[in-house]
Structure 1
Amino acid sequence: MNDQSLFPHTCLHGYRLFSSLRGTPATGPVRSATGFTTTGALIFCLCLLFVLISNAEAAKLEDRIVAVVNSDLIMLSELKRDLLPEQDRLRKLYKGEDLERRLKTAEAMGVTKMIERKLQLQAAKNKGVDVSDQEVVQAVEEMKKQGEAIDSADPNTARSIREQLTLMRVVDREVRGLIMVADSEMKRYYQEHQDRFAYPEEYQLSQILIKPRTPDGLSAAHGRAEALLATLKQGEPFEDLALRFSDGADASRGGRLGLVRQGELIPALEQALTSVDVGKITGIVETAEGLHIVRVDDKKPRQFRPFEQVKAEIQSLVFQQKTEDQYQIWMADLKNKAYIEIKF
């Protein structure tokens, strides 16, 4: 049936509908008892068609194909649903052009993520990877025990959980299950990343702290600190001067701070100590707390944890890295073999 034959049929159907609503016969003379003419019917049909076409166009705009992945489609409504949490987060943090740029980036990353998920689910289907209803129920119960708000009556919940379990299972089979970590790889990692397995350097320290006594008393504090530094260089015992002149809480102990590990000190102090030998003192170091003169009483050089002690940790790190590399290879292979068309 062509458009010309369809139009009168649609008008006739609309005219009959209109007549039945008006309580008049759908057939009869050109002018009915109500005065409704064929011209009126034509106008009604045109209005009806306009409404139908507008509704169809609105539906088309509301949802459309974003990407084709082999035989699967990714719809705009799916993408919007996936992006909603990230978009809400971005809108709380950014505004204007910066927000728009980040939203576009999130959309592009969202499409990529959905394409990869479709490919993985297709791979799972091709490999016969399946998740039973019982496994989904068990997963829901476990999530509830962990305090997650799960609506088990919502069919979307079960579908989402089944999908996640399927993805985990196919990645276990196609990626993680192929990974082996040899002793030689762990030893090489240990040699190349020794700093990661080092104990921090340790210091035994004493200090004299001079605090400004008024808001604008920094200059006077510097004068007192310089006088103390000169006295120390003349051989005056550090403990005596700390006890008499230090404003620090450790003054009563002769300024002894005790054991301090690298990373626990104020950065300015830590930097000043790097070139100070045991038994020597720093110059005057200014921090937000005041003016410090620090003596290095003892220094324990950095030591490395033995390989056997960190072997399990290294195995986990190497396994994680190899898994990530293998995952990227697997995804690249899936993409190369797939038909992917992005329409977004």
Structure 2
Amino acid sequence: MKNFKSLISFCAIAIYLISLSSTGTAAAATFVDGVVASVGRDPVLYSDVMQEMFSELGDRSSLEMSEEDMVQHLNPLYKEALEREIELRILFKEATALGVVVPDDKIEDRISDLKKQFPNAEAFRTALNATGLTPSTLRERIRRQMMAYTVRMSKQQQFEKEAIISESDLAQYFQDHKSEFKFETRYLVRRFFLKAPFDAKKRDEVRQRLNDIRIRIKDGADFTALAKEMSDGPEASEGGSLGWVLPGDLVEPLNSALLSLPANELSDILETDFGFHFLRIEEIQTEGTTPYEEARIDIEPLLRRKQAEEQYRRWMNLLRQRSEIRILRDAIQ
């Protein structure tokens, strides 16, 4: 086969994929579409699969390989996209029956996010054209995807609520995965946070207000009570408690402050893009295993999600059986 020794951009990959549908070689110039699968009486075209792959193309910024290697590299992506396209058809049908509606602004937000995967507008347009999409058909595809996603999330949430997790399930997971709950050092932390706008003058005012609160606490005021009353953090209702925190859990500069702060001392005022913070460490534990009673709080939602995903796959397999799926082409070549 002809050897490609030049760097192939993601938009070149898109053009390459489309060209393969014509003659089986990358040299083809005319795009000829074809049916690669069917969901009931609904045909799935090669271009449909390429369009489903569209959002993946931005992640392949440069590849250097032969044509044969290119096909081997892209075949798994093609198969995944074909499966997603089939599931999309099934879920879209369910969404339509349920009357699911996606607001236009949500669609525009998704398009904006998609454009960010490409280095510039021209690259985005090139890949768009290569996969047979127009701005209007892209919007329609995203609308269908988001409708399908809404149904998927709704079913998964339903299955999570219906999941039955016994105490023995939790205990067994803890025993089987004890290494996951070991720690070298952990910190019981409280945080006081005031959000601040980007305006420099207003940020200075917020910083000063937080510093005044810090001084009050240092002079003996109750951290928990003031946090409940005045903190903007989501943990305010818990008196600013972040619970047990591991090194690396917090953003900088909070993480660095955490690692250097003695127990029962207040940190300096710490600034992030969101506003101003200070911390207090209630307790430091060095080396150990999280007790089961604490660990089970994290284990239960994990097992619920796992059980829900299994139930979702069973539900989807049932819908697939009812949909009479036929796959005519499961690879690029």
TM-score by length of 1: 0.45
Higher relative contact order (CA 8 A, sep 6+): 2
CA radius of gyration, larger in: 1
TM-score by length of 2: 0.46
